[in-house]
Amino acid sequence: MFDGSLRTAFDRLVAPLGRGLQRLGISPDVITIVGVLMAAACGVAIGTGRFFTAAVLLALTGLPDALDGAVAKAGGRAGPRGAFLDSVSDRLSDGLLFAGAGWYLAGTDNPRMAMLPFGLFISASLVSYQRAKAESLGFNAKGGLMERAERFIALGFGLVFSQLFVVTLWVMLALTVATAVQRFFKVWRQAGGDMPPAPLRAGRTRRRTRRPVSDFRRRAEARAEARRRSPNR
- Asked whether the beta carbons of 95 and 88 are under 8 A apart, the reply is no
Q: pLDDT tens, position by position, for the chain (233 residues)?
A: 555 556 667 667 777 777 787 788 888 888 889 999 999 999 999 999 999 999 999 998 888 877 877 777 777 767 788 888 888 999 999 999 999 999 999 999 999 999 999 999 999 999 999 999 999 999 998 888 899 889 999 999 999 999 999 999 999 999 999 999 999 999 999 988 554 444 544 444 444 444 444 554 565 566 555 555 554 44
Residue range(s) defining the domain that contains residue 77: 2-191
CA atoms within 13 A on the CB side of 123: 25
CB 131 within 8 A of CB 147: no
Verify whether residue 65 is a known catalytic residue.
no
For 35-76, the DSSP string reads: HHHHHHHHHHHHHTT-HHHHHHHHHHHHHHHHHHHHHHHHTT
Asked if residue 182 belongs to a domain, the reply is: yes
Selection from 132, 154, 155 nearest residue 142 by Cα: 132
Please check whether residue 215 lies inside any domain of the structure. Answer: no
Count of structural domains, the chain? 1
| Per-residue pLDDT at 45 | 97
Q: Is residue 127 part of a domain?
A: yes
**Any idea what the CATH number is for the domain that residue 21 is in?**
1.20.120.1760
User: Is residue 204 one of the residues assigned to a domain?
Assistant: no
Type of residue numbered 43: G
Residue 114 within a domain: yes
In this structure, is residue 226 part of a structural domain?
Answer: no
Contact status, residue 140 vs residue 134, Cβ threshold 8 Å: yes
Which 3 state secondary structure label does DSSP give 19? helix
Cβ atoms within 10 A of the Cβ of 87, count?
Answer: 13
Q: Which of 90, 94, 194, 215 is catalytic?
A: 90
123 touches 176 (CB < 8 A)? yes
142 vs 135: CA distance, rounded Å: 9
**pLDDT of amino acid 215:** 53
CA angle 230, 231, 233 (to 5 degrees): 75
**Residue 128 covered by a domain:** yes
Whether 149 is in a domain gets the answer: yes
